[in-house]
């Protein structure tokens, strides 16, 4: 072994405080160091040439560069080694600038310390091993979980790059929450007008496969090679035969409350959730279908001109492989029944924002009339209550749901447009309108549409003389307020889907105390997760409005495409490795690994003459954090580049 | 380096995570903050990489103080490594105390990549504390 | 009770429910109990069960891989089997757990070897504070005596020895342990007897790197004892075998109990409660305490 030590002056950055010549000389006293020298700027081309020449002339096989922090030039010098025909991982950087010359003033002290830092690096490099980046094949397909606007946008973006993408949506149609909205803030274009074309685009796209009425059953594997089991729930309608003519649902006698319209109207047992459904193929709701319940009826089968109804249909589980997964599962509404004082459930005229959306929608259950659900009369005085469930650690969630201020303002505006004689009152805590043209929108609602904004909480709602009496405080004027309202609209917060934690566990992605999925880095990796190959978009990560949702959808797509365009996955080789002779198979490492990068493997134990289970690192998945090495009692698992031996010997030479 | 206390200078080993604390120490350099030279830094990818055996090795090799420094909880580059380290070393530290090993000799800190000032102050404080604790008698040096 | 055990054992072996039974037989001295490995009906006669059955037989499970093993266990022994199951060292389907309701076992070290029978039984320290008689789960229960009356001290603070040490000054504690560890001869009996020390090659014996001094000296002895304790953190179920096996009488249980007490207080964690439990050091809680961290 011939180690070369190269001490950089860094102009005067190092040389002014550290006696670089002395350091270079001291290097020659260290075991296996065969050559040392100094240079003004080691990272410059002549500096690198100096290293390359020395490698060639002196036959050096390991290099220590005493210079600035490895975060700056480790890559540079690795490249330099590579160009000289030495494995790039046979390099160590001694950080004698940031950690030495720049923080000490006394030359003697700094020089002594620089030599010690160099000694550590020389000791460490002695045990570096030549490493090669690992390569793994990539299954060039993307799975998008969730067919709302987020998933739709992701799928469209990926199809642009001509990679196959599969959307799995658990409802009978794609479209998600946005399909229920009336108009969208702040521009007031109608949600359907901008969403429906996208739904159609995605359905007709030859790169996109839609699995509606389907759920994720199991996810195994890792980036580049996820194996996913998808449960295709029995629709009882043959999608290859059905044309969506509607004969069946027009005749179906079983009527139940429509989920899509939040019970504001009825649907039949065979149904599509809404008229613009994609695919426009109904499903039979097995709980309410008379035939499936008791073999009576069978009308839909009789009237179907295409013989598409099949009562014998079973759930089907398919397994597919993907290189990347985009999670676009969205959100659900906060259950505001905990706010007894708002009388939800007790008074029919206390509704949520989403009910309001459906009523305002001209193709909705009221045909666009904003009325009191109790008596069908036009709503005149309407009270909107913000922050229902949001920013309330006691009863709800601690975070701000971000959209409620805006959709409430929009509702106040729509109310005025639909019912010109009406008056909107908005109880708020703070107005958060931080978005392009958002503040202006709220101002417009207040100034041009006459919505009265009252800063305070509502303490009680009760019924009196056919009206809802809303009592609250206006904290700005200090006055107690009582409003006789026709309708009360609760701006309920956004929360994670009920089964979010289950999905997160399947995908091995972390989630927070609110079951919102956790991004890999809050600022610099907002759509990535720590599980490589799994990306997040939309409100499953945190409440987002449509623009942000679409933006993260495209961002997640780019990240997924960034993977897919590679021929192979290239990974840093500084990963954990198991010595199977030392491994007891206790699996402490497997349980401690945040990345699910360790699996079990059966090996033949020659000494014991039997099979034994040991741990094995999936190199492509290991992030090289080394946590496993510290939980391994037998030190059977070690980390390349930061091995137990290297660290122990570093301590010894100190 | 034995016996004579006047010549004795505390020798401290710092295991710094690559992403936060090592970078924080880098920033201290970039900001030209001056601090004592007693801490020798061993770079590790994550505080979770640190094995209690390393700490023992230090203390039994005559190192006077050991510091493990990582990202603040919630900021770990690997998301959870520092949580693991925290639990692991809480136990080790309790055990040290129980066995009569001065807990000053084994310390932990969270230093982010932007906390250059905290790093410099931490080193100063640590060196002072170890100076007061005196040379480590466990070690063979 | 021994009769019941013998009959059960015979039945199990006859019906080929197990390949062997790990149990206790009377030792050569006629008083103490020694482990035995019974694979025939006739040998089942040897089996005994009484307060002299001190050993934690879980240590022997690994010696019979791929065999269906019946094993006689006490409350504490079963917990170590739970940990072994948790750590995939034994397969539940290869185990037939014969739980013996436990009268408390003797403190072997307090027996006068010359006059064992005449002497009044002194119970092991761990039994004096143990309130449980029947193991948490089992396949077969050998039932009988209620808790022995002689265990009158039950209910006392199991951490009393730990607290006494904690109350001392740090210098006193160091002196105490320095003197205790100075007797350590690094025979590793504590490790050999421990059912949970099953590493193929202990770190104490690894060479590249050598994790700590192999010599009998303060730093080596201290490192070994700390390593042993740390490697049992969240795993030790206080069967006390290490302390019993230690030929120089180091109070190892006082170390194990200290960690047990701390993790109970700090992390609400107890070892050996369930197979599904995650290992203490392979998991964390975001709200774990961190008051010592700067």
Q: What CA–CA distance (Å, rounded) separates A644 from A634?
A: 12
Same domain? A413 vs A465: yes
Q: For residue B1, what pLDDT band results from cuts at 50, 70 and 90?
A: very low
Is the distance from CB of C79 to CB of C50 less than 8 angstroms?
Answer: no
Q: Is residue B138 part of a domain?
A: no
Cβ pair B28:A103 closer than 8 A: yes
Q: What is the pLDDT of residue A6?
A: 96
Range of B54's domain? Answer: 16-132
Is there a domain that residue B122 lies in?
yes
Domain-located, residue A503: no
Q: Is residue B3 part of a domain?
A: no
Query: What percent of chain C has a predicted confidence (pLDDT) above 90?
Result: 57
Q: Do A627 and B57 touch (CB under 8 A)?
A: no
Position A411 confidence tier, pLDDT thresholds 50, 70, 90:
very high
Q: What is the overall mean pLDDT for chain A?
A: 94
Is the CB of residue C124 less than 8 Å from the CB of residue C56? Answer: no
Query: What average pLDDT score do residues B56-72 get?
Result: 93
CB A517 within 8 A of CB A495: no
Claim to verify: residue A138 and residue A80 sit in the same structural domain: no
Q: Are B13 and B39 in contact (CB under 8 A)?
A: yes
- According to the model, what pLDDT value does residue B126 have? 96
What confidence score (pLDDT) does residue A625 get?
Answer: 94
Average pLDDT rounded to a whole number, residues A350-375: 94
In this complex, which of A583, A631, A636 lies closest to C282 when CB atoms are compared? A631
- pLDDT of B6 over the 70 cut: no
Confidence check: pLDDT of A594 > 70: yes
Residue C152 has pLDDT above 80, yes or no: no
E strand map for B18-86: 39-44, 65-70
Which bin fits A231, alpha (ψ -120 to 50), beta or left (φ > 0)?
beta
For residue A586, the chain C residues in CB contact (below 8 A) are 87-89, 279
Handedness of CA C234, C236, C238, C239 (dihedral sign): positive
Q: Which residue of C has its CA nearest to A632?
A: C231
Judged against a pLDDT cut of 80, whether residue A210 lies above it is answered with yes
CATH assignment at residue A85: 3.40.50
pLDDT at position A572 is 86
The nearest CA of chain B is from the CA of C7 a distance in Å of: 46
Site of tokens 């002779």: A581
Strand locations in chain C (E): 20-26, 33-38, 47-48, 69-73, 95-100, 140-142
Residue of chain C nearest A585, judged by CA positions: C88
Structurally, how many domains does chain B consist of?
Answer: 1
What is the residue-averaged pLDDT of chain C? 88
Interface of C with B (CB under 8 A): 162, 165-166, 170-178, 203, 211-213, 217-220, 222-223, 226-227, 229-230, 233, 255, 258-259, 262-263, 266-267, 280-282, 284, 286, 288-290, 292-294
Enumerate the residues of chain B whose CB falls inside 8 A of the CB of residue A635: 51, 53
Residue A501 counted as domain residue: no
Task: Please tell me which of the candidates B32, B49, B77 has its beta carbon nearest to residue A630.
Answer: B49
| Mean pLDDT rounded to a whole number for chain B | 90
- Mutate one of B40, B59, B75 to test the A interface: name it (highest A CB count within 10 A): B40
Weakest-pLDDT range from A460-469, A548-557, C145-154, C165-174: C145-154
Do residues A17 and A106 both lie within one domain? yes
At A512-523, the pLDDT tens digits run 889 999 888 778
CB atoms C203 and B53 under 8 Å:
yes
Residue B71 DSSP label: P
Quick one: what percent of chain B has pLDDT higher than 90? 72
Q: Are the beta carbons of A634 and C201 separated by less than 8 Å?
A: yes
DSSP character at residue A624: -
Q: CA–CA separation, A350 vs A337, rounded Å?
A: 11
- The three state secondary structure string of C139-180 is CEEECCCCCCCCCCCCCCCCCHHHHHHHHCCHHHHHHHHHHH
The residue among A73, A95, A99, A653 with the most chain B CBs within 10 A of its CB, best to mutate, is A99
Compute, in degrees rounded to 10, the torsion defined by CA atoms C256, C259, C264, C265: 140
Nearest CB to A102: which of B30, B45, B46? B30
Handedness of CA A431, A434, A439, A445 (dihedral sign): negative
Q: What is the structure's pLDDT at B3?
A: 45
Omega prior to C209 cis, within 30 of 0: yes
The reply to whether A611 and A479 lie within a common domain is no
| Residue A239 neighbours by CB under 8 Å, 6+ apart | A279, A281
- The residue from A284, A313, A342 where one domain ends is A313
Cβ atoms of C251 and C159 closer than 8 Å = no
| Cβ contact B80–C284 (<8 Å) | yes
Same domain, A345 and A404: yes
Label residue A370 by pLDDT band (50, 70, 90).
very high
The pLDDT, as a whole number, for residue C93 is: 92
Mean pLDDT of C200-212: 91
- Nearest to A325, CA basis, from A218, A171, A197: A218
Identify all chain C residues contacting B107, using CB atoms and an 8 Å cutoff: 292, 294
Domain end, chosen from A472, A495, A518, is at A495
* Contact: A635, C203; criterion CB under 8 Å: yes
Residue C112 banded pLDDT, cuts 50, 70, 90: low
Report percent pLDDT > 70 for chain A. Answer: 100
A368 and A444 in a single domain? The answer is yes
pLDDT one-digit tens code per residue, A84-139: 999 999 999 999 999 999 999 999 999 999 999 999 999 999 999 999 998 888 99
Question: What is the predicted pLDDT for the residue at B104?
Answer: 92
* Domain identity same for A27 and A85: yes
Is residue B10 domain-resident? no
Residue A524: predicted pLDDT: 82
Count of pairs with CB atoms under 8 A, one residue in A, one in C: 60
Say yes or no to pLDDT of C145 above 60: no
In chain C the first and final C-alpha atoms are separated, in Å, by 58
pLDDT in tens, C224-269: 999 999 999 999 999 999 999 999 999 999 999 999 999 999 999 9
Cβ pair A412, A431 in contact under 8 A: no
DSSP summary character for residue A517: B
List chain A residues with CB under 8 Å of B88. Answer: 630-631
- Asked if the model's pLDDT at residue C148 lies above 80, the reply is no
Judged by CB atoms closer than 8 Å, whether chains meet at A651 and B61 is answered as yes
The number of distinct structural domains making up chain A is 5
Q: What is the pLDDT of residue C66?
A: 80
A36, A28 in Cβ contact below 8 A?
A: yes
- Cβ neighbours for C73, distance < 8 A, ≥ 6 positions apart: C57, C58, C81, C97, C98, C99, C100, C135, C138
Mark whether A390 and A484 lie in a shared domain. yes
Q: Which two tokens stand for residue C69?
A: 């093993």
- Asked, for residue A550, whether it belongs to a domain, the answer is yes
pLDDT at A292: 94
Q: How many helices (H) and strands (E) does chain B have?
A: 4, 4
Residue B14 to residue C3: CA distance in whole angstroms: 62
- Within a domain: residue A281? yes
- As separate numbers, helices (DSSP H) first and strands (DSSP E) second, chain C gives 9, 6
Q: What are the angstrom distances between the C-alpha of A535 and each of A154, A222, A264?
A: 11, 13, 36
Give residue A281's region: left, alpha or beta (phi > 0; psi -120 to 50): beta
Verify that A168 and A245 share a domain, yes or no: no
Model confidence pTM above 0.90: no
Which range is least confidently modeled, A152-156, A402-406, A618-622, C186-190? A618-622
pLDDT score of C109 more than 80? no
CB contacts of B37 in chain A (<8 Å) are 100, 104, 109-110, 112-113
Q: How far is A508 from chain B (nearest CA, A)?
A: 13
A502 located within any domain? no
Query: Cβ(A39)–Cβ(A50) under 8 Å?
Result: yes
Q: How many residues does chain A have?
A: 654
Query: Which residue has better confidence, A346 or A469?
Result: A469
CATH of the domain at A491: 3.50.50.60
> Under an 8 A CB cutoff, do B32 and A69 touch?
no
Contact call for residues A221 and A322 (beta carbons, < 8 A)? no
Same domain, A298 and A436: no
Q: C35: which 2 tokens?
A: 């482990």
Range of the domain at A240: 234-313
- Using the predicted structure, report yes or no on whether residue B2 has a pLDDT greater than 50: no
pLDDT at A126: 95
Chain A residues with CB under 8 Å of C66 CB are: 610
Report the residue of chain B nearest C162, measured CA to CA.
B98
Check pLDDT > 90 for residue C187: yes
A340 and A398 in a single domain? The answer is yes
Neighbours of C212 (CB within 10 A): 22
What's the pLDDT at C225? 95
- Largest Cα–Cα separation, chain C: 66
Looking at residue C263, its pLDDT comes to 95
Within 10 angstroms of residue A459's Cβ, the number of other Cβ atoms is 13
Asked if A354 and A404 sit in the same domain, the reply is yes
DSSP-derived letter for residue B48 is G
């Amino acid at each position: 072994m011939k180690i070369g030590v190269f001490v950089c002056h860094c102009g005067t950055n190092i040389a002014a405080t550290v006696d670089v010549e002395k350091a270079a000389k001291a290097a020659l006293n260290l075991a296996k160091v065969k050559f040392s020298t100094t240079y003004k700027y080691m990272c410059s081309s002549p500096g690198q040439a100096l290293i390359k020449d020395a490698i060639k002339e002196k036959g050096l096989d390991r290099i220590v560069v005493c210079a600035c922090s490895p975060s700056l030039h480790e890559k540079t010098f690795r490249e330099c080694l590579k160009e000289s025909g030495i494995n790039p991982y046979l390099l160590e950087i001694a950080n004698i600038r940031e950690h030495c010359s720049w923080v000490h003033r006394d030359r003697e002290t700094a020089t002594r310390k620089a030599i010690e830092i160099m000694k550590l690096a020389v000791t460490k490099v002695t045990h570096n091993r030549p490493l090669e980046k690992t390569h793994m094949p990539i299954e060039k397909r993307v799975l998008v979980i969730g067919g709302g606007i987020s998933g739709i946008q992701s799928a469209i973006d990926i199809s642009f790059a001509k990679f196959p993408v599969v959307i799995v949506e658990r409802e009978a149609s794609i479209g998600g929450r946005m399909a229920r909205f009336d108009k969208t803030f702040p521009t007031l274009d109608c949600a359907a007008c901008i969403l429906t074309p996208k739904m159609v685009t995605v359905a007709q796209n030859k790169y996109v496969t839609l699995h509606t009425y389907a759920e994720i059953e199991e996810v195994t594997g890792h980036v580049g090679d996820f194996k996913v089991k998808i449960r295709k729930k029995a629709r009882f309608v043959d999608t290859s035969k059905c044309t969506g003519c509607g004969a069946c649902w027009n005749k179906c006698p079983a009527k139940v409350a429509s989920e899509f319209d939040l019970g504001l109207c009825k649907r039949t047992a065979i149904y599509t959730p809404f008229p613009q459904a994609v695919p426009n193929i109904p499903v039979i709701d097995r709980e309410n279908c008379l035939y499936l319940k008791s073999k009576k009826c069978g009308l839909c089968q009789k009237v179907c001109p295409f013989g598409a109804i099949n009562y014998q249909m079973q759930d089907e589980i398919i397994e597919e492989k993907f290189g990347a997964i985009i999670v676009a599962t969205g959100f659900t509404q906060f259950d505001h029944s905990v706010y007894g004082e708002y009388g939800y459930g007790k008074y029919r005229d206390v509704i949520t924002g989403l009910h309001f959306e459906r009523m305002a929608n001209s193709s909705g259950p009221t045909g666009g009339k904003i009325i009191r659900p109790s008596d069908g009369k036009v709503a005149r005085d309407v009270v909107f209550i913000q922050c229902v469930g949001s920013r309330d650690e006691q009863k709800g969630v601690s975070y701000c749901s971000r959209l409620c201020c805006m959709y409430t303002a929009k509702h106040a505006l729509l109310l005025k447009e639909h019912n010109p004689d009406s008056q909107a009152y908005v109880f708020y805590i703070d107005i958060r309108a931080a978005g392009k043209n958002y503040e202006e929108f709220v101002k417009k609602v207040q100034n041009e549409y006459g919505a009265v904004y009252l800063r305070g909480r509502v303490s009680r709602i009760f019924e009196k003389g056919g009206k809802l009496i809303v009592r609250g405080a206006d904290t700005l004027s200090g006055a107690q307020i009582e409003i006789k309202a026709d309708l009360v609209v609760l701006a309920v917060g956004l929360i994670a889907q009920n089964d979010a934690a289950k999905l997160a566990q399947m995908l091995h992605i972390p989630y927070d105390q609110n079951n919102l999925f956790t991004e890999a880095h809050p600022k610099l990796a907002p759509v990535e997760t720590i599980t490589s190959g799994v990306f997040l978009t939309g409100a499953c990560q945190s409440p987002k409005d449509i623009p942000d949702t679409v933006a993260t959808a495209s961002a997640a797509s780019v990240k997924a495409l960034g993977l897919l365009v590679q021929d192979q996955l290239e990974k840093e080789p500084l990963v954990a490795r198991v010595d199977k002779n030392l491994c007891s198979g206790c699996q402490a490492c497997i349980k401690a690994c945040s990345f699910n990068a360790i699996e079990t493997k059966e090996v033949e134990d020659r000494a014991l003459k039997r099979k034994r289970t040991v741990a094995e690192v999936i190199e492509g998945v290991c992030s090289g954090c080394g946590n496993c090495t510290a939980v391994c009692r037998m030190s059977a698992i070690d980390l390349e580049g930061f091995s137990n031996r290297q660290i122990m010997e570093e301590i010894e030479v100190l | 380096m034995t016996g004579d206390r006047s010549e004795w200078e505390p020798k401290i080993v710092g295991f710094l995570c690559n992403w936060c604390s090592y970078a924080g120490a880098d920033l201290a350099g970039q900001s030209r903050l001056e601090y004592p030279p007693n801490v020798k830094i061993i770079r590790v990818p994550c505080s979770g990489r640190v094995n209690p055996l390393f700490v023992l090795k230090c203390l039994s090799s005559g190192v006077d103080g050991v510091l493990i420094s990582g990202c603040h909880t919630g900021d770990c580059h690997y998301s959870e490594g520092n949580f693991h380290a925290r639990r692991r070393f809480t136990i080790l530290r309790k055990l040290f105390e129980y066995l009569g090993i001065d807990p000053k000799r084994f310390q932990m800190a969270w230093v982010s990549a932007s906390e250059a000032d905290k790093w410099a102050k931490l080193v100063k404080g640590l060196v002072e504390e170890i100076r007061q604790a005196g040379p480590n008698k466990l070690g063979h040096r | 009770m021994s009769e019941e055990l013998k009959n059960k054992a015979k039945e199990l072996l006859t019906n080929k429910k197990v390949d062997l039974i790990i149990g206790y037989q009377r030792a050569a001295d006629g008083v103490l109990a020694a482990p035995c490995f019974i694979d025939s009906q006739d040998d089942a006669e040897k089996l005994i069960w009484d307060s002299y059955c001190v050993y934690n037989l879980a240590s022997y499970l690994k010696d019979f891989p791929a065999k269906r093993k019946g094993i006689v266990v006490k409350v504490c022994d079963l917990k170590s089997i739970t940990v072994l199951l948790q750590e995939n060292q034994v397969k539940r389907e290869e185990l037939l757990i014969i739980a013996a309701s436990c009268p408390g076992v003797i403190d072997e070290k307090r027996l006068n070897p010359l006059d064992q029978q005449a002497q009044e039984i002194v119970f092991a320290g761990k039994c004096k504070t143990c309130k449980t008689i029947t193991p948490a789960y089992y396949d077969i229960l050998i039932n009988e005596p209620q808790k022995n009356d002689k265990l009158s001290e039950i209910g006392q603070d199991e951490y009393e020895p730990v607290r006494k040490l904690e109350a001392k000054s740090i210098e006193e504690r160091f002196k105490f342990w320095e003197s205790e560890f100075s007797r350590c001869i690094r025979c590793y009996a504590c490790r050999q007897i421990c059912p949970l020390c099953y590493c193929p090659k202990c770190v104490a014996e690894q060479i590249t790197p050598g994790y700590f001094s192999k010599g009998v000296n303060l730093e080596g002895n201290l490192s070994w004892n700390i390593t042993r304790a740390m490697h049992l953190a969240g795993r030790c179920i206080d069967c006390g075998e290490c302390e019993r096996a230690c030929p120089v009488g180091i109070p190892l249980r006082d170390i194990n109990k200290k960690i047990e007490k701390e993790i109970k207080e700090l992390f609400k964690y107890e070892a050996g409660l369930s197979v599904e439990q995650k290992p203490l050091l392979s998991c964390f809680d975001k709200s774990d305490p961190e008051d010592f961290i700067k």
